[in-house]
């Protein structure tokens, strides 16, 4: 995979940070229905900590931008982003369900940024899942699970500086999140 220079990448990150900081969203009421925005990296390479840090930053930025786009519509979104180093799927799921339970979230938007091996493509994907709760009284183990994807929004773009700039500016996240809005509670 080709990567733009570190200096160019840092300029994009700094610009995105200023863009996010300059945007103020009105917070929805705390009792509004919740959507958990779950981000998790897929391109972990133990021998490449700098690349892992870049994937973590891309996933963090994308998930946060999706969460901000949902919040901007008056809905409540709670981001939870795990690093690419978090490889224990059972522990990751337990953490996701625990956070969803604590925040009373009814939906999960899985926000993913990954590189396709051999194609030099960057894949951005949002998957919407319902959170299922077992009938009956509350249980100590939460009795929660994630349903099958109800909706998938995906973009496959060339892995280049222009795509990274669009990703870090939140432009792509906003466009993609807009396609989910009719399926999210208010």
Q: Is residue 100 assigned to a domain?
A: yes
177 within domain boundaries: yes
Residues 6+ apart with CB under 8 A from 119: none
User: What are 111-138's pLDDT values in tens digits?
Assistant: 999 988 788 899 999 999 999 876 666 5
Mean pLDDT of the chain: 83
Q: Which residues of the chain have pLDDT under 70?
A: 1-31, 134-142
Residue 113: domain span: 6-24+32-183
Q: What is the pLDDT of residue 82?
A: 96
pLDDT tens for 71-92 read 999 999 999 999 999 989 999 9
Q: Which CATH number fits the domain that encloses residue 102?
A: 3.40.50
Q: Is residue 1 part of a domain?
A: no
Assess if residue 54 is contained within a domain.
yes
Largest pairwise CA distance in the chain:
55
137 part of a folded domain: yes
How many domains in the chain?
A: 1
Q: In sequence order, what are the residues at sequence separation of 6 or more whose Cβ sits closer than 8 angstroms to the Cβ of residue 177?
A: 65, 66, 69, 70, 109, 126
DSSP letters along 66-91, please? Answer: HHHHHHTTT-EEEEEEE-TT---HHH
């Amino acid at each position: 995979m080709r990567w733009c220079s570190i200096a160019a990448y840092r300029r994009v990150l700094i610009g995105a940070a200023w863009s996010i900081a300059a945007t103020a969203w009105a917070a929805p009421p705390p009792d509004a229905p919740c959507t958990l925005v779950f981000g998790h990296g897929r391109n972990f390479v133990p021998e490449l900590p700098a690349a892992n840090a870049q994937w973590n930053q891309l996933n963090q930025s994308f998930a946060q931008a999706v969460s901000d786009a949902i919040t901007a519509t008056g809905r409540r979104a709670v981001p939870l982003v795990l690093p690419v180093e978090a490889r224990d799927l059972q522990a990751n799921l337990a953490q996701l369900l625990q956070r969803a339970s604590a925040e009373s979230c009814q939906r999960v938007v899985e926000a993913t940024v990954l590189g396709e091996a051999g194609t030099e493509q960057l894949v951005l994907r949002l998957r919407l899942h319902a959170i299922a709760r077992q009938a009956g009284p509350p249980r100590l183990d939460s009795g929660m699970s994630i349903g099958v994807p109800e909706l998938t929004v995906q973009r496959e773009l060339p892995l280049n500086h222009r795509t990274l700039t669009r990703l870090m500016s939140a432009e792509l996240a906003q466009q993609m999140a807009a396609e989910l809005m009719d399926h999210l509670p208010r």
